[in-house]
């Protein structure tokens, strides 16, 4: 079985989550593509095995013959537009995951929390040849899987039965926020398609270990939570983290994508103070204006020191120091992993100083 996952945000988490659930339920799987080894270097599997492949828009742009048994599209928002010549080119690249059909039996799992996903799900369903399972973290979907206030519901049987409440995702600390609940809905839809039992899937979701740099909890110091979300390399990804917490000391900046902070702006009431870094420091300062207090810090180390000092001094219940840059890392770091590692190491040094 070939399972492919794409989307602007959430690909790696969903790929890892699907791999975790399938493997811990006893299936023989290999994970690859954009997460892990290149797809073509993976070891051969038995006929009952499954390849779980994360595919970026770049990879899909170069994919002409691949046929996937289960294709997952999580969401679409503006990203990599310079590479694809604009939004239409970017959407076309993502749609390639559904391009090649087999002789029936293929399943398309499509997130419908954005307008592009709604349209695409309708288009794929109208074409025939694919069973379309819609997923959402906002609204019930007949024939799909959805999460409302953290509760995961299975309505894959559609009109033939009532939705089944599967589990409460809000209790899973490694899957915070509505965007992760949609990722879990995608995983659940794939696992059910692979004929795993709802109770078994719920049990494995509850013990998902999480991925580094994706809303990764580093530690808590004197009641303040420190979260590494370095993988948030665009404003849409950062908005998902900002929507998961209150009283945020937000570290943002780097090499900005086109379009400004758009998706973040409605969530600024959750930000107590921002600390701006990198090439985007000036443009972000101009865009934030007088909406929230902010400091221009230049680099990550200075920003984290300032955020740590202020958060510890203010002693507000539920405070979070959050690295969610809304930018690529390439102005100051070789990649987002190096940026996140530096954040984690500096936080751990604060913890080692004995301020517990």
Q: pLDDT tens across 151-208, in order? A: 999 999 887 778 999 999 999 999 999 999 999 999 999 999 999 999 999 999 999 9
159: exposed, middle or buried (Cβ count in 10 Å: 0-12, 13-18, 19+):
exposed
Helices 115-127 and 87-95 pack at an angle, to 10 degrees, of 40
Q: By three-state DSSP, how is residue 356 classified?
A: coil
* Radius of gyration of the chain, Cα coordinates, nearest whole angstrom: 20
Q: What is the pLDDT of residues 107-119, one digit of tens each?
A: 999 999 999 999 9
State the DSSP code for 38: -
Statement: residue 344 has pLDDT above 80:
yes
Please, are residues 196 and 188 in contact by the beta-carbon 8 Å criterion?
Answer: no
Please, are residues 322 and 250 in contact by the beta-carbon 8 Å criterion?
Answer: yes
Q: By three-state DSSP, how is residue 346 classified?
A: helix
Average pLDDT, integer, range 125-143: 94
Q: What is the pLDDT of residue 355?
A: 46
Q: What is the 3-state secondary structure (H, E, C) of 96-147?
A: HHHCCCCCCCEEEEEECCCHHHHHHHHHHHHHCCEEEEEEECCCCCCCCEEE
Q: What is the pLDDT of residues 43-102, one digit of tens each?
A: 888 778 999 999 988 788 777 778 899 999 999 886 655 565 677 888 888 888 988 777
CATH 3.90.190.20 fits 216-352, yes or no: yes
Q: How far apart are CA 166 and CA 188, in angstroms?
A: 10
Catalytic choice (11, 204, 213, 273) = 11
Q: What is the pLDDT of residue 135?
A: 98
CA of residue 171 relative to chain centroid, distance = 18
Statement: residue 356 has pLDDT above 60:
no
State the DSSP code for 328: E
Question: What is the residue extent of each domain of the chain?
Answer: 2-205, 216-352
Q: Catalytic site residue 100?
A: no
Q: Name the residue among 1, 56, 356, 13 with its Cα closest to residue 183.
A: 13
Can you read off the two tokens belonging to residue 150?
Answer: 């953290």
Q: Which CATH superfamily is domain 2-205 in?
A: Mur-like, catalytic domain (3.40.1190.10)
Can you read off the two tokens belonging to residue 318?
Answer: 């539920």
Please, are residues 273 and 249 in contact by the beta-carbon 8 Å criterion?
Answer: yes
Q: How far apart are CA 37 and CA 341, in angstroms?
A: 21
Catalytic choice (20, 64, 75, 80) = 80
Whether the CA torsion 191, 192, 197, 199 is positive or negative: it is: positive
Question: Which residues share a beta bridge with 29?
Answer: 50
Q: What is the pLDDT of residue 84?
A: 52
Q: Catalytic site residue 34?
A: yes
Catalytic choice (9, 20, 28, 34) = 34
Q: What is the pLDDT of residue 81?
A: 55
Dihedrals phi, psi of 181, to nearest 5 degrees: -70, -35
Q: Name the residue among 13, 10, 91, 4 with its Cα closest to residue 55.
A: 4
Q: How far apart are CA 35 and CA 83, in angstroms?
A: 20
Please, are residues 351 and 219 in contact by the beta-carbon 8 Å criterion?
Answer: yes
Q: What is the pLDDT of residue 176?
A: 93
Kind plus residue range of the DSSP H or E element containing 196: none
Q: Catalytic site residue 335?
A: no
The more confidently predicted of residues 345 and 160 is 345
Please, are residues 214 and 13 in contact by the beta-carbon 8 Å criterion?
Answer: yes
């Amino acid at each position: 079985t070939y399972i492919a996952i794409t989307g602007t945000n959430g690909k790696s988490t969903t790929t890892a989550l699907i791999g975790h659930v399938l493997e811990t339920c006893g299936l023989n799987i290999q994970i690859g593509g954009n997460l892990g080894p290149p797809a073509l270097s993976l070891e051969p599997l038995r006929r009952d095995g499954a390849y779980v492949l994360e595919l970026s828009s770049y990879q899909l742009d170069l994919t002409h013959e691949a046929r996937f048994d289960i294709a997952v599209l999580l969401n679409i928002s503006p990203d990599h537009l310079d590479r694809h010549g604009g939004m239409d080119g970017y959407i076309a690249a993502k749609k390639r995951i559904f391009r090649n059909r087999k002789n029936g039996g293929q399943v398309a799992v499509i997130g419908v929390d954005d307008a592009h996903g709604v349209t695409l799900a309708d288009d794929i369903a109208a074409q025939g040849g694919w069973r379309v399972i819609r997923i959402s973290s906002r609204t019930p979907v007949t024939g799909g899987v959805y999460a409302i206030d953290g509760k995961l519901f299975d309505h894959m049987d559609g009109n033939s039965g009532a939705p089944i409440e599967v589990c409460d995702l809000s209790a899973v600390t490694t899957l915070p926020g509505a965007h992760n609940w949609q990722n879990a809905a995608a995983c659940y839809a794939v696992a059910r398609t692979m004929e795993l039992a709802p109770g078994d899937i719920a049990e494995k979701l509850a013990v998902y270990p999480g991925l580094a740099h994706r809303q990764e909890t580093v530690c808590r110091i004197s009641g303040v939570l420190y979260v590494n979300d370095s993988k948030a390399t665009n404003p849409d990804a950062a908005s998902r983290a900002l929507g998961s917490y209150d009283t945020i000391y937000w570290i943002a900046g780097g090499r900005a994508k086109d379009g400004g902070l758009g998706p973040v702006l409605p969530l600024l009431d959750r930000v107590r103070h921002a600390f701006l870094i990198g090439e985007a420091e000036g443009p972000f300062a101009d865009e934030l204006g007088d909406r929230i207090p902010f400091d221009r810090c230049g680099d990550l180390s200075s920003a984290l020191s300032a955020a740590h000092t202020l958060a510890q001094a203010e002693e507000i219940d539920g405070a979070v120091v959050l690295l969610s840059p809304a930018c690529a890392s390439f102005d100051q770091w070789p990649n987002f992993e190096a940026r996140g590692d530096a954040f984690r190491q500096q936080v751990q040094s604060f913890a080692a100083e004995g301020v517990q």
